[in-house]
Structure 1
Amino acid sequence: MRTVVVIGGGIVGLATAWELTKRGLDVTVLEKEEHWAAHQTGHNSNVVHAGLYYKPGSFKARMSTAGNRSIVDFARQYGVPVEVCGKLVVATSEAELPALKVLAERAEANGVPAKLITPSEAREYEPEVSCVAALRVESTGIIDFAGVCAALVRLLDESDADLRLGTPALGIRPGRTGGVEVATGDDVIHADALVNCAGLHADRVARLAGLTPSARIVPFRGEYYELKPERRHLVRGLIYPVPDASLPFLGVHLTRMLDGSVHAGPNAVLALRREGYTWRDVSAKDLAEVARFPGVWRLARKYAYPTGLDEVRRSFSRRRFAESLARLVPAVTEDDIVRHGSGVRAQALRPDGALVDDFLIETARNQVHVLNAPSPAATSALEIAKHIADEVTGQAVS
């Protein structure tokens, strides 16, 4: 039986491990933290994306539209909470109408069920919303992604996969008789193939394995607020702004969760360490690495002012955050929101300063490295897993 080591215990790593076991491979999963879904998977907005934002034909477009169906089916089959509630993308000014129309065209090209609607039709879904037009997207949903991971762990246990928490990969080298060897500190694992799903550390794991990745991970923190319980009635479902097409972030939005709470966010600021969930989380090593990377400085010249500065100001100002929300729902005020944690996005950046927009998967002999899998990777996890498994088993089609 062929053996595979998967590094990373988030949703992409666990989904990949499960797909490989279904194909008859013997799988070991290494997760450096003491619990599964510890970082990106466990700190996101739990939205099942529909696939309307992404360039037709891209990895993201194909995998998110297929993933929208497969992740919902998986949740229903294995008892994970999920609700397909739909969402509104709202244009709050005439200037945003062309971009909203482009989104509608992308939705159609990607096979996403969506339609342009009038302000009065939008208020039938969201009575408090303010817009000049909106795009209604029917297939967007809310799910418990940590619950999906728990279900995957149960399935992997039943398949006799070797699941190791608290086990970082410390060294990777070609095996003496083929395959790869992964040193963990406790032992050396011999396997026929390696799959790197390390998220925030994916580029470091790739370099550890001898690969020179084409992009570097730069961490961006997204901070969330939530509406106070007595103000949750202002939002029935999901309300998104028209995004800036030049950025990979969707903008501050409002999301009703499965428990009835309403989350607001996230913004996007440079994190001061790879796992920097607050401004107090600082790593001199991580900052030095960022400072030495020319792509960061080229990105900063393009976006630091006013976009980056506005995001930092919003990070420190509840009033500014509330003002962003009030563009969508005017009734929301500074007094209506309270802080509610944050997440860190592993964003791949090229040396020329270009943000990697699509999923990025690179291969070497007996190795597959997932080097860019931010949102909608959780939605697409089961589809990404199939692609990776095809690469491992030599069946991938370019």
Structure 2
Amino acid sequence: MVTSVGFGRAASLLIKRFSGFQADYLVRRKYSSYDVAIVGGGIVGLASARELIQRHPKLSYILLEKEKELAFHQSGHNSGVIHSGIYYTPGSLKAKLCVRGAELSYAYCVKKDIPYKRCGKLIVAVEQEEIPRLKALYKRGQQNNVPGLSLIDAKEIHKREPYCRGLMALDSPNTGIVDWREVALSYAEDFCEMGGTIKTQFEATDFQITKESPAGSTDDRLSQKSGCSSEPCIVPFRGDYLVLKPEKHYLVNGNIYPVPDPRFPFLGVHFTPRMDGSVWLGPNAVLAFKREGYNVYDFDLRDFTDAISYRGVQKLVLKNVAFGVNELYRGLVIAAQVKQLQRYIPELTVNDVTRGPSGVRAQALDKDGNLVDDFVFDGGSGVIGSRVLHVRNAPSPAATSSLAIGEVIADEASKKFEL
């Protein structure tokens, strides 16, 4: 197993839940060493910790998070969609774990009385050239065993989304929405109730082997210190959303997505209703100059230098110069973003939207400039690496897949560490 360096004398947990109620939990231990350490208090780390302690309750556990709050970054800055598993390569981890994760997520929300809506999603073709790609996507979803998929015509689109223009759409009724941060905090509550300890404002910066005692991390820099490869490299991409004004909410009933264009590395703009009643529009996708930078002017010299000096980033930029310039322009000029959205809802105007929140996608990139399309689970080499298991690439649909990822992590940890 593994340990992170420098545990304090008494570990403590403070969880603040903001959705419906607040509860403070303070869990103290009389010892400062643990059998299992999980590094990272995002939704994947919390789901993994919860699954591990359920399976091996006799071991002692600590989860470390560098921020003041849990689920502070990607887990708390996402669009809140419960994905159904359509897009992903058949047989891939993303395909398997998204479908399984969606099933587990709905069941978990019912069990924990967490509000959610199975509002569905339409992937809409607005041009004839998109229809073959849409049909191929339908076949892919069938291969992935996504429930309830069907192709619908313009008349059916109008019934589902009266203001949406489209020639054909892929209807995914199993797609939903939820507040993933609330789900993540519920995982944390489960973990603590089963005897786990969470310590916030504790950044793990290195690994040292002491004696029998494991950890996992989503940080590629930290994983390299445990003997893992320097690739894939994590590259941050910021996405800026617009928000539909309340008086225009009638324009959108459920999720409305574009047909993916294989020429471009990201999905494109879409319409996403939220559990709080708001509707997010977008996002664009631009290279961020700080790994956790949600504002246009956020900058970190190390993050910036690491990104632009990486051969994979250089190749990605060269391959997608026009795309990148357009995405940057759409982030700065609202009218440009709205123009893309009008392909689906022509009645939308610039006056119907305001600037909204931003999120940062931690995307793994290989040395050839290709986005790593699947989850990456990795163990390092050497004495330390043999005691570590990392989740090295878990962008969307990681939230949807979180409970299923937790099962995989627990399976791997049980074998690797002989739990």
TM category, shorter: over 0.9
Unpaired stretches in structure 1, ≥5 consecutive residues: 180-190
Q: What residue number does 1:229 align with?
A: 246
Q: What residue number does 1:369 align with?
A: 390
More strand by share: 1
Q: What residue number does 1:326 align with?
A: 342
Q: Which whole-Å CA distance do the structure 1 matches of 2:136 and 2:268 have between them?
A: 17
Q: TM-score, normalised by structure 2?
A: 0.88
1:324-359 Cα offsets, whole Å, 9 max, x none, are 111111111111110111000000011121210111
Amino acid at match of 1:333: T
Q: What residue number does 1:58 align with?
A: 92
Deviation of 1:246 (Å): 4.9
Q: Which whole-Å CA distance do the structure 2 matches of 1:247 and 1:366 have between them?
A: 38
The 1:42–1:60 alpha-carbon spacing in structure 2 relative to 1, beyond 3 Å, is same
Q: Which whole-Å CA distance do the structure 2 matches of 1:301 and 1:284 have between them?
A: 22
Q: Which whole-Å CA distance do the structure 1 matches of 2:265 and 2:309 have between them?
A: 23
Q: For this pair of structures, how many residues does the alignment match?
A: 377
Identity %: 42
Greater shift, 381-390 or 283-292, is seen at 283-292
Greater shift, 362-371 or 239-248, is seen at 239-248
Greater shift, 1-10 or 321-330, is seen at 1-10
CA contact (8 A) 2:249 2:279 kept: yes
1:12 matched to 2:52: no
Deviation of 1:245 (Å): 3.0
Q: TM-score, normalised by structure 1?
A: 0.92
Q: Which whole-Å CA distance do the structure 1 matches of 2:190 and 2:74 have between them?
A: 21
Q: 1:76 aligns with which of 87, 110, 135?
A: 110
Amino acid at match of 1:67: G
Secondary structure, counterpart of 1:142 in structure 2: strand
Q: Which whole-Å CA distance do the structure 1 matches of 2:166 and 2:152 have between them?
A: 10
1:257 matched to 2:274: yes
1:227-268 Cα offsets, whole Å, 9 max, x none, are 001111000111001112355532110011122211111110
CA contact (8 A) 2:264 2:323 kept: no
Q: 2:71 aligns with which of 33, 37, 45?
A: 37
Q: Which whole-Å CA distance do the structure 2 matches of 1:159 and 1:28 have between them?
A: 12
Secondary structure, counterpart of 1:14 in structure 2: helix
Q: What residue number does 1:381 align with?
A: 402
Greater shift, 307-316 or 203-212, is seen at 203-212
Secondary structure, counterpart of 1:323 in structure 2: helix
CA contact (8 A) 1:16 1:389 kept: yes
Unpaired stretches in structure 2, ≥5 consecutive residues: 2-33, 381-385
Q: Which whole-Å CA distance do the structure 1 matches of 2:178 and 2:66 have between them?
A: 25
Q: Which whole-Å CA distance do the structure 2 matches of 1:159 and 1:12 have between them?
A: 18
1:56-85 Cα offsets, whole Å, 9 max, x none, are 000000000011110111111112111111
Q: Which whole-Å CA distance do the structure 2 matches of 1:326 and 1:244 have between them?
A: 17
Q: What residue number does 2:415 align with?
A: 394
1:250-307 Cα offsets, whole Å, 9 max, x none, are 2110011122211111110000110111111011111111122111111111112x21
CA contact (8 A) 1:173 1:210 kept: no
- Describe how 1:1-398 pairs up with structure 2 within 5 A: 3-24=35-56, 25-112=59-146, 113-175=148-210, 177=211, 179=212, 191=213, 193-196=214-217, 198=218, 202-247=219-264, 249-304=266-321, 306-364=322-380, 365-394=386-415
Greater shift, 274-283 or 45-54, is seen at 274-283
Amino acid at match of 1:269: V
CA contact (8 A) 1:6 1:29 kept: yes
Q: Which whole-Å CA distance do the structure 2 matches of 1:285 and 1:232 have between them?
A: 41
Secondary structure, counterpart of 2:156 in structure 1: helix
Secondary structure, counterpart of 1:64 in structure 2: helix
Q: Which whole-Å CA distance do the structure 1 matches of 2:42 and 2:261 have between them?
A: 28
The 1:280–1:231 alpha-carbon spacing in structure 2 relative to 1, beyond 3 Å, is same
CA contact (8 A) 1:53 1:103 kept: yes
